[in-house]
Structure 1
Amino acid sequence: MENAAGQLAEAQSLLAAALAESDERMLHDDALLELTATAEAVGRLVDALRIRAAGEVAFRSRRELGEDRLSAKKGCRNGVELLARTTLASERTITQRMRLGAAVRPRTALIGDTMPARFEQVADALRAGALGYDSAAAIVDTLDPIRARVGDLNVEHAETALVAAATGPTIESALPFAADEVRGQARVWESVLDEDGTEPIEERAMAARGISGGLTRDGLVHRRMALLPEVDAKFESLLNAYLSPRSKPTFNDADPDQPRDPRATAQARHDVFASLIDGAARSAEAPTMGGAAPTVLVSVRQADLTAGSGSGFIEGCEAPISLRAVEQFVCAGGQQHVLIDGDGRLVSLSSTDRVFNAAQRRAISLRDGGCIIPGCSIPAAWSEIHHVIAYRDGGETETCNGVLLCWYHHRTIETSGWRILMIDGVPHVKPPPWLRNGHSEAETPWRRSTKSRTQLADLLERQRERQPVLVE
């Protein structure tokens, strides 16, 4: 281990030489993805060493050592400053590494014996390069604060499940969970294990809630808002409804050639807030157009729709859209057959069909919780409902045949390689070939997919019942 720095320096030289003349722009798609995955695997090993080294520097620079602490010997006020000077990384990054390093560093008992780290399984997975920094931080940062309330055994049980999900495969998933999914799972574990932990927090929140008076500066009125979670959730739901890519009035996101909204997110949220204020001032009811909810009208000839070629048109938009975009509109919003004769006369008009009603959408949203493609963070309010078995193939417009997909995954579901299957009314997915780690489609199991926190909590509760853990 004394020669570790020299070995790393040699590896650094070899890596630099190997990459000196490489150009990722010249790689084919699969080769580019393979290079990216390999680089991330190397990065996980490097991150693990960074974390361990930072944890060791923090331990040797702890305050109780006085002038014997490592940082003092090197003329620094603490370990953070010492590492900032040594690595040139930001103090924020170093602080995060130190916190995680302390959690995965073996502990020393008062009598001098070596004890396991607080998160031994995270430490092992980090050292092996199987667990990344983001996933490790999600596990430690969520479970460590509740340890005193729920006990070491419960935290260890949650750690086991989360590390298994993050490194995969497991019985429930053929693929490792991405860091954001791990963080979401960790939050569910927190709510299951620490059922009473939110009450003291809510009491403090009630006392601190409020909206401050405005201060005018540089032509703007600056306010501060501290909202209770349930109030903020209602506010976010309204923002989501208006900021959804499908409801922006200025740009047609169904056409990839159209420009993107040039506003920053904060600017867009401000403009939506202004619209909400105007709407609330005029009426407490949702706005309607002609007695119905605002509707985007898309027209296409039946012959083109049947043949799968040609173009469709959005009323008020000069640019035509592809039949794929039309199919997406039809899948999400329904269709109505209008028969026009050669002279332009309306001959017949059918009722709207193949559209999920409001009650069905609420039920599907509660079941799926958001876009069901693993790793996608688009919430239910932004998602569309997709017919798993296409309407043209006999699929019914029922909750057992509808799933939530974000606009992008809905638009590309036929070409991306993701597969969806309803098993006993529950959505399951299979990844595309490039995410199967060399496994064939037959070897890759269907994975149940939901973003619903209540369902995830229920799944974890049943898992706990099979493997009960007592609070110390």
Structure 2
Amino acid sequence: MRTAAPNLIEEVSTAQAELAAVLTGVDERMLHDDPLLQLTGAIERAAVLLDSWRVRLAGEVGARSRRELGEDRLSAKKGCRNAVELLARITLAAERTLTQRMRVGEATRPRTALTGDTLPAAFPEAAAALRSGILGYDSALAIIDTLAPIRARVGDLNLERAEHALVAAATGPTIESPLPFSADEVRGQARVWEQVLDPDGTVPAEEQAMAARGIGAGLTRDGLVHRKMALLPEIDAKFETLLNAYLNPRSKPTFTDPDPDAPKDPRATAQARHDVFASLIDGASRSADVPRIGGAAPTVLVSVRQADLTARCGSGFIEGCDAALSMRAVEQLACTGGTQTVLIGDDGRLVSLSTSDRVFNAAQRRAITLRDGGCIIPGCTIPAAWSEIHHVIAHRDGGKTEVCNGVLLCWLHHRTIETSGWRILMIDGVPHVKPPPWLRGGRSDAETPWRRATKSRPQLADLLERHPVLVE
């Protein structure tokens, strides 16, 4: 048995270079139909073999990084929290992808008994087909993800029958099909086996989930409101899809971020998900379909003393919430939601109540939306419907509630506009932005030009015609 000695690493690197040399100069657009399809199949067969090694190596790294090994686990010795982080540093692949590889790797890796004896893999046929390069990674994942959860209920023998049939279908041909099943067909066939072997498994689980679903009341601690959520799978899938759509950098149109020095998101994943959720709530609250309470749209009431608001110090308080708000948070809510002045006498008597002011009306919001198209900070993907309107010149400094003084900002950039270093300037009624010093690449303020900021597609098309360098 060969080990990963230096000469093996060199041989793999040589093979990689040889493959690259073979493909260098090939223009897929010049291939005739049949050669195009044949090359597609050949590349995929090579990828299947590489995928099998990706899975095997990820499984091995995961096994050597097991939590029970303590400080002796591989990930800890390399300064990483777990196997996923270690693999991510080496491969640069997404954590979700690496987690799946490790899951398949664990299921197809020989096991070790408590006595130290070697046992077959949990899915031995899938393991053998995967290692030989005839079973694709996606098909193996479909088999394992579908059958593993029902093993305890249906038993090993029944699971072996299903595994055998699914591997045969995926590698083909079989009596039922002259061609191997695609990964999607394998997953569908696996679902059929799941229903056949465990016909009562789905319904009780769904009934139990329906009874347990819910969102708990918030508990305020350390300035945060902690809630427990238990979502049904289909509801969580919708929520997750929305989050991923606005957190995935690949979803950004290339022309919305022409600056090569575009900011990298410094937030942790959980923080970014929170901020997208905040924008979702803002967007939903502005919907015409939202039920009205007391004749008005649902409104968060924040009370603050006029002296504190003027001095920009102290705290504000949300009705029904124990946590105090910083003046920065109060000002953000006032900027986007408006204020009313309530004069209360020394004896506690209500003296007067002003009308609501500094609120952009629906017509103004539509106009600003058409101009800005979304949060105007470069690189931000939050759409216009989820964005707030920010007074470029603050209301307290004499700024008017007019379209030439309002710009769209997402919840996060609105909350941090005075601390992040981003600057906004209206030039002839058009928003322009200048990045903070830490994003200027050493350029001074004078050397950093103001850049027109818009996510509006018609305006971007016009800009691209006049400045084609933006799409480079």
What is the TM-score of this pair, normalised by structure 1?
0.46
